[in-house]
Amino acid sequence: MRALIIITLLATLVMAATCYESHESMESHEYLNPFINRRRANGFMQTDMRLEAIAQERIRERNKAPQEHQREICEDYYPCELYASRHGYAAAYRHYYGRRRTK
* pLDDT, position 5: 93
Per-residue pLDDT tens digits for 20-42: 666 665 555 555 666 777 667 66
In angstroms, the CA 73 to CA 93 distance is 8
Q: Is pLDDT of 62 > 90?
A: no
pLDDT in the model for residue 57: 76
So what's the pLDDT on residue 44?
A: 62
From the number of C-beta atoms within 10 Å of its C-beta (0-12, 13-18, 19+), residue 40 rates as exposed
Whole-prediction pTM value?
0.40
Judge residue 76's burial from the number of C-beta atoms within 10 Å of its C-beta, 0-12 exposed, 13-18 middle, 19 or more buried.
Answer: exposed
